[in-house]
Amino acid sequence: MLLVADVKEDRRLPVPPAAESLWGIEKLNVPRSTVPAITHVDYSARIQTVGEGSEPRFRALLEAFDARTGCAVIVNTSLNVRGEPIAESPADAYRCFMRTEMDCLAIGDFLLEKHQQPAWNEMGDWRMELPLD
């Protein structure tokens, strides 16, 4: 389920007084919680929950991450780089993985580690293929 909720009080960070006068991207760059990648300026977050009955492997991953870090949050984002469409196939996902600084890619039952992949060679600069939005 996707919803907007307040970030828990014990995860929030105080905003330094000097940051109150910031605007735009500078204001967005002020960490507001111990999970800054998901926390909005008003201490809310768009969240997706994973119930016990759905997606058991993903739920197990969240529980293992929580046990290791004390934070049951994993950032879920579209798989693409700026200017490219979202990956729609394993081939798209692999290409994005190899062109970027990602360390690992999980697809279904497979976990690919960058250092175990063959060299990725391309002619030209792939970043110039599509105009930036």
Q: What is the pLDDT along the chain (133 residues), one digit of tens a residue?
A: 568 999 999 999 999 999 888 998 898 899 999 988 889 999 999 888 888 888 888 888 889 999 999 888 887 678 888 778 899 999 999 999 998 889 999 888 899 999 999 998 877 776 777 666 5
Contact 52, 59 (CB under 8 A): yes
Contact 124, 130 (CB under 8 A): no
Q: What are the backbone dihedrals phi and psi of residue 61, each rounded to the nearest 5 degrees, phi first?
A: -65, -45
Please tell me the distance from the alpha carbon of residue 46 to that of residue 39, in angstroms, as a whole number: 8
pLDDT of the residue at 2 = 67
Q: How far apart are the first and last CA of the chain?
A: 29
Q: What are the backbone dihedrals phi and psi of residue 75, each rounded to the nearest 5 degrees, phi first?
A: -75, 125
pLDDT of the residue at 124 = 74
List helix spans (H) across 53-118. 56-69, 90-99
